[in-house]
Amino acid sequence: MSKSRITLRSYTPAEEVLARGAAVRDRVPRTARDRAAGAADRPSVVEFVEASNHGRIEDLIPLRIGRMIASPFAFYRGAAGLMAIDLASSPDTGFTAQLCGDAHAGNFGLYGTSRGEIVMDINDFDETVRGPWEWDLERLATSLVLAGRVGGADEDDCRTAARDAARSYRRAAAVMAERPFLQTWSALADESVLDRVEADDLLDNYKKAAKKARKNNSDKVVQKWTHIDDHETGIDSHRFVSDPPVLTTVTQAVEDAAIDALERYGATLRESRRGLLSRFAVADIAFRIVGTGSVGLHSYVALLHGNSGEVLVLQLKQAAPSSLAPVLGVPPPEHEGERIVQGARLVQTETDILLGWTTMSVPAPGGGSRELPFIVRQFRNLKGAIAPEELAPHDLDDYGRLAGALLARAHARSLDPRLISGYLGDDADFDRAIADFAVRYADRTEADHDELVAAVRAGKLPAQEPDR
């Protein structure tokens, strides 16, 4: 029998699935989430950072470390692998979902659907892999505490945000356990979700972010980052303007390799979208640094021209292995880019219509070249964000409720929400246990951040002042 074959000859009643979830409480009490932070065999911070720098572009490692020492929250954003090591020995239900893998509060963002609607969802899948659903929730809760501390919230506000994220996750799972499968599968998180999760105080933040997102497109990139070559005419004469270290020009060999990679990437799109892509042509390629965890990886932007002055900017981003995979014992995939794309397609209700993967030949240290996996996506797909560390302290719990509900919906696409709901039930002790652990792990992260700063000051690690 094919491994892809599913069974459609029998139906499991909801009561039976809920009971299966509830039965796990005997083995893993819901209060088991309240536990010590940090594994006994965890590496030192210096060891972790050095290991995570392996394979990155050497010249950019100081910039990555410089970004990580900016704050404990910034360090946390670049340390998903370290938290995975700490979570590995934790008790879990045995129910696995397609994880974001790095579900910190800053990885929930706004973006445009194919119909131009603005929705909010998880928007980073570099670490995606199947694993315990608890890991994503605990990473989210801890990030809320850290973001709140950076933003000046007091400890009660931070703890409440973490607790409310868990409560919202639990309640959202309960709602989805009762709803028709197709209804929960296709639900989009637009502005109306704020009322449903009791996050009305975020309405102004959401509207402001959505208004900004609607202007965040390829045209804006062209206006801000390009100029017209005086020696050429037409839209294809636009060229990226070098702005080191964030945006830099590439050699002709790299540009040719990027175009070759884009031409191959078309095969990973649906047929209709493949035809759409074929109507464009590449005008220029540039190297662009992005994120914190991704600094030091190969990342390029491609400027394409289309019909009647139309422009499209695509991002080619190196797909590094998930730092969770070795901790979970997950075997390497055939293509890391495909892993990320398939994870996004499974978790998000609607993904970028031009999301795909490819392989590109890039310069190798010491000369020559090497083949690396990449993902390709629209660089500015009406993207926006509500920065949790910039929220007013009294709004942090609203953000926690919003993110918790979005995470539950994301998990429900790969894990039956009836199982989760059966396990969680209506017990607020679970919420408090998550919050207690989140505060404890935030303390652990602050100590890790201090250790990193001390290592930089002692000259053990190089660090460059973060760019603008």
CA–CA separation, 271 and 47 (whole Å):
46
Around Cβ 193, how many Cβ atoms within 10 Å?
Answer: 20
Q: Which of 357, 378, 399 is the last residue of a domain?
A: 378
**pLDDT above 70 covers what percent of the chain?**
97
User: pLDDT tens, 21-43?
Assistant: 999 999 999 999 999 999 999 99
Q: pLDDT band at 9, cuts 50/70/90?
A: very high
Around Cβ 373, how many Cβ atoms within 10 Å?
Answer: 20
This prediction has a pTM of: 0.95
Q: Do 348 and 186 touch, CB atoms closer than 8 A?
A: no
Same domain (yes/no): 319, 344: yes
**Hey, what are 114's tokens?**
């194919």
Same domain (yes/no): 19, 145: yes
**Hey, what are 328's tokens?**
């979970």
CA–CA separation, 42 and 79 (whole Å):
12
CA–CA separation, 214 and 225 (whole Å):
18
The predicted pLDDT at position 232 comes to: 56
The predicted pLDDT at position 15 comes to: 97
Around Cβ 149, how many Cβ atoms within 10 Å?
Answer: 22
Average pLDDT (393-406) is 96
Same domain (yes/no): 294, 368: yes
Same domain (yes/no): 61, 146: yes
The predicted pLDDT at position 293 comes to: 86
Return the closest-CA partner of residue 73 out of 406, 391, 394, 459.
391
Same domain (yes/no): 205, 265: no
The predicted pLDDT at position 237 comes to: 75
Same domain (yes/no): 165, 223: no
User: pLDDT tens, 210-222?
Assistant: 999 999 999 999 9
Residue 361 placed within a domain? yes
Within 13 Å, how many C-alpha atoms sit on residue 453's CB side? 12
Return the closest-CA partner of residue 144 out of 170, 166, 128.
166
Same domain (yes/no): 62, 160: yes
Q: Where are the alpha helices (DSSP H) in 69-152?
A: 72-77, 80-87, 133-150
Task: Let me know how long the chain is.
Answer: 468
Burial (0-12, 13-18, 19+ Cβ within 10 Å), 459: exposed
Q: Are strands 311-318 and 369-378 parallel, antiparallel or unpaired?
A: antiparallel
Q: pLDDT band at 252, cuts 50/70/90?
A: very high
Q: pLDDT band at 231, cuts 50/70/90?
A: low
CA–CA separation, 90 and 29 (whole Å):
12
Q: pLDDT band at 196, cuts 50/70/90?
A: confident
CA–CA separation, 374 and 142 (whole Å):
30
Residue 3 placed within a domain? no
Same domain (yes/no): 313, 393: no
Residue 5 placed within a domain? no
User: pLDDT tens, 69-92?
Assistant: 999 999 999 999 999 999 999 999
Q: Which of 378, 397, 419 is the last residue of a domain?
A: 378
Same domain (yes/no): 203, 247: no
> Is the peptide bond prior to 72 cis by the omega test (within 30 degrees of 0)?
no
Residue 302 placed within a domain? yes
The predicted pLDDT at position 324 comes to: 98
SS3 391: coil
**Hey, what are 18's tokens?**
């809920």
Q: Where are the alpha helices (DSSP H) in 11-154?
A: 14-23, 45-52, 61-68, 72-77, 80-87, 133-150
Residue 241 placed within a domain? yes
Average pLDDT of the residues of the chain: 94
pLDDT at 175 over 80: yes
User: pLDDT tens, 342-353?
Assistant: 999 999 999 999
Structural domains counted in the chain: 2
User: pLDDT tens, 297-337?
Assistant: 999 999 999 998 899 999 999 999 999 999 999 999 999 99
pLDDT at 364 over 90: no
Boundaries of domain holding 90: 14-214+385-457
**Hey, what are 55's tokens?**
């394979």
Q: Which residues, 6+ apart, have CB-to-CB distance to 140 below 8 Å?
A: 103, 104, 105, 165, 403, 404, 407
Residue 339 placed within a domain? yes
Same domain (yes/no): 33, 176: yes
CA–CA separation, 399 and 391 (whole Å):
9
The predicted pLDDT at position 466 comes to: 67
Residue 4 placed within a domain? no
Return the closest-CA partner of residue 430 out of 25, 45, 58.
25
Angle between helices 417-424 and 396-411 (to 10 degrees): 130
Same domain (yes/no): 159, 81: yes
**Hey, what are 112's tokens?**
């445009």
Same domain (yes/no): 206, 238: no
pLDDT at 468 over 50: no
Q: Which of 1-15, 175-189, 434-448 shows the lowest per-residue confidence on average (mean pLDDT)?
A: 1-15
Residue 410 placed within a domain? yes
Angle between helices 155-178 and 396-411 (to 10 degrees): 30
The predicted pLDDT at position 129 comes to: 98
CA–CA separation, 68 and 77 (whole Å):
8
pLDDT at 188 over 80: no
CA–CA separation, 84 and 81 (whole Å):
5
Q: Which residues, 6+ apart, have CB-to-CB distance to 272 below 8 Å?
A: none
The predicted pLDDT at position 101 comes to: 97
Average pLDDT (369-395) is 95
SS3 396: helix
Q: Which of 378, 413, 439 is the last residue of a domain?
A: 378
The predicted pLDDT at position 3 comes to: 63
Q: Mind giving me the DSSP string for 185-221?
A: HT----TTHHHHTT-GGGHHHHHHHHHHHHT-SHHHH
SS3 352: coil
